[in-house]
């Protein structure tokens, strides 16, 4: 990328970005506090914040009470001053959302398409283009975040997803070229954890895990306040820890993986084999039977819940999270997991680590897309994880006169 601005302009851009980030993270905040915390002169802060107020990005909030004298004016971000786009990428459909700076959903889109088909990626680009065109009208769009099932190197945006059929696919680079705006990519469960950290129950929790149940078993790890990616982005492949030696074959090629025993396809295979559901029926039928009180269907869930509870206990013993968030389409049947899961978890957690809580979410597809959008919002409000994308997103917001597309070299 290149900057078309001189040294002074660049310094001013950096100061503006730092001020915005501080107001976003700590606002409402007084100008004097901004100057003190960033080590800038009051004159610089006044000049830049006046500019930000004029362009509608920042506004004055309620006055702070003060001991004598005039109360200080507090500044806060105008949450509708910029938008971010988030996309949940699934093998057979895309869900997109436009969110404001508070993570509130403004628009939502959905499109079915087969990403693993011959021209699947081109079709997806076409869909994203039309969504972004509609979303970009009027308000600056900071960028697009994508949550993808698979191993994602979030530093490079390269994706390996057996579900979609991508191997070392340069998703970020390809999309950035095709769409001309900042693109951030991470594993889909990591995006969920990111949005919980920014806006949800993880806001005040430094160490938590997000566990997802459904077609597979996913895991996002937040350690010391940030997503733990591991080498090459592969951390969190909890679904592939071995729970049964020489057990059923997993989609990854190994045997006895957790997800080959407890994920929906495994439950369906067991239920079909023992006649609990018909040969052509799926997970919805199994859930219906369990809901109706069928003892065999309930036993299938209870067995899976026991294996899952034990595996999660092992995880707790390694990570010691304060909070465990459970979500994904599998939670529609959580009532049938609950008891056996809690019992196995309790039995296998190292006793001194039992101080955590477990929270279970109702199933919500759009929440994943909001998570993906929060990749963009996170790069806006927290110190750089990825320099280039961060700079592009900040410029799209703080310099509405300079389109993000124009600063890409």
- Residue ranges binding Zn ion (CB under 5 A): 240, 250, 252, 254, 257
Question: CB-wise, 10 or 244, nearer to Zn ion?
Answer: 244
| Structure tokens, 153 | 């190197």
* Of 249, 253, 296, nearest in space to 272 by CA: 296
Shortest CB 321 distance to Zn ion, Å: 23
Question: CB-wise, 151 or 205, nearer to Zn ion?
Answer: 151
How far, CA to CA in Å, does 199 sit from each of 102, 289, 322? Answer: 8, 37, 17
Question: CB-wise, 23 or 243, nearer to Zn ion?
Answer: 243
Shortest CB 315 distance to Zn ion, Å: 16
Largest Cα separation within the chain, whole Å, is: 79
- What is the Cβ-side half-sphere exposure of residue 191, based on CA atoms within 13 angstroms? 35
Question: CB-wise, 136 or 241, nearer to Zn ion?
Answer: 241
Question: CB-wise, 216 or 309, nearer to Zn ion?
Answer: 216
Cα torsion angle, 294, 310, 236, 353, sign: positive
Question: Which residue has tokens 């999309």?
Answer: 175
- The SS3 of residue 379 is helix
- Quote the crossing angle between the two packed helices 7-26 and 387-398, to the nearest 10°: 90
Question: CB-wise, 265 or 400, nearer to Zn ion?
Answer: 265
Host H or E run for residue 318 = helix 295-319
Shortest CB 84 distance to Zn ion, Å: 33
Shortest CB 254 distance to Zn ion, Å: 5
Do residues 143 and 378 make contact, with C-beta atoms less than 8 angstroms apart? no
Shortest CB 257 distance to Zn ion, Å: 3
Shortest CB 238 distance to Zn ion, Å: 10
Cα torsion angle, 200, 144, 116, 151, sign: negative
How far, CA to CA in Å, does 108 sit from each of 98, 144, 334? Answer: 6, 14, 27
Shortest CB 196 distance to Zn ion, Å: 25
Shortest CB 253 distance to Zn ion, Å: 7
- What is the Cβ-side half-sphere exposure of residue 196, based on CA atoms within 13 angstroms? 30
Question: CB-wise, 143 or 239, nearer to Zn ion?
Answer: 239
Do residues 258 and 311 make contact, with C-beta atoms less than 8 angstroms apart? yes
DSSP secondary-structure letter at 218?
E
Question: CB-wise, 217 or 377, nearer to Zn ion?
Answer: 217
Distance CA 196, CA 194 (A): 5
Question: CB-wise, 73 or 241, nearer to Zn ion?
Answer: 241
Shortest CB 340 distance to Zn ion, Å: 22
């Amino acid at each position: 990328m290149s900057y078309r601005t001189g040294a002074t302009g660049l310094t001013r851009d950096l100061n503006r970005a730092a001020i915005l980030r501080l107001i976003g993270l700590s606002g409402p905040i007084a100008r004097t506090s901004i100057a003190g915390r960033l080590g800038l002169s009051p004159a610089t802060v006044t000049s830049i914040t006046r500019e930000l107020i004029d362009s509608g990005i920042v506004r004055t909030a309620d006055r702070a009470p003060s001991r004598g004298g005039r109360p200080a004016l507090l500044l806060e971000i105008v949450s509708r001053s910029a938008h971010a786009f988030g996309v949940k990428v699934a093998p057979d459909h895309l869900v997109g959302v436009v969110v404001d700076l508070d993570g509130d959903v403004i628009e939502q889109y959905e499109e079915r398409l087969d990403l693993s088909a011959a021209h699947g990626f081109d079709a997806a680009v076409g869909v994203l283009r039309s969504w972004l065109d509609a979303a970009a009208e009027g308000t600056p769009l900071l960028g697009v975040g994508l949550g993808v099932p698979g191993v994602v190197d979030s530093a490079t945006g390269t994706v390996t997803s057996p579900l979609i059929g991508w191997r070392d696919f340069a998703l970020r680079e390809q999309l950035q070229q095709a769409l001309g705006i900042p693109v951030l990519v991470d594993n889909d469960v990591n995006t969920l954890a990111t949005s919980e950290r920014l806006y949800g129950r993880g806001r005040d929790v430094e160490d938590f895990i997000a566990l997802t149940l459904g077609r597979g078993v996913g895991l996002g790890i937040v350690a010391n306040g940030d997503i733990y990616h591991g080498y090459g982005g592969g951390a969190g492949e909890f679904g592939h820890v071995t729970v049964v030696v020489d057990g059923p074959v997993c989609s990854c090629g190994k045997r006895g993986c957790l997800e080959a025993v407890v994920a929906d396809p495994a439950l369906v295979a067991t239920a079909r084999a023992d006649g609990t559901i018909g040969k052509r029926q799926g997970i919805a039928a199994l859930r219906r039977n369990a809901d109706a009180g069928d003892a065999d269907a309930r036993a299938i869930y209870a067995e899976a819940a026991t294996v899952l509870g034990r595996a999660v206990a092992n995880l707790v013993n390694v990570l010691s999270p304060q909070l465990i968030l459970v979500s994904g389409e599998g939670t529609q049947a959580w009532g049938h997991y609950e008891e056996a899961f809690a019992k196995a978890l309790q039995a296998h957690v190292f006793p001194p680590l039992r101080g955590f809580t477990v929270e279970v979410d109702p199933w919500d597809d759009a929440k994943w897309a909001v998570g993906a959008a929060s990749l963009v919002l996170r790069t806006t409000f927290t110190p750089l994880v990825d320099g280039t994308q961060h700079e592009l997103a900040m410029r799209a917001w703080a310099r509405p006169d300079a389109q993000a597309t124009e600063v890409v070299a």
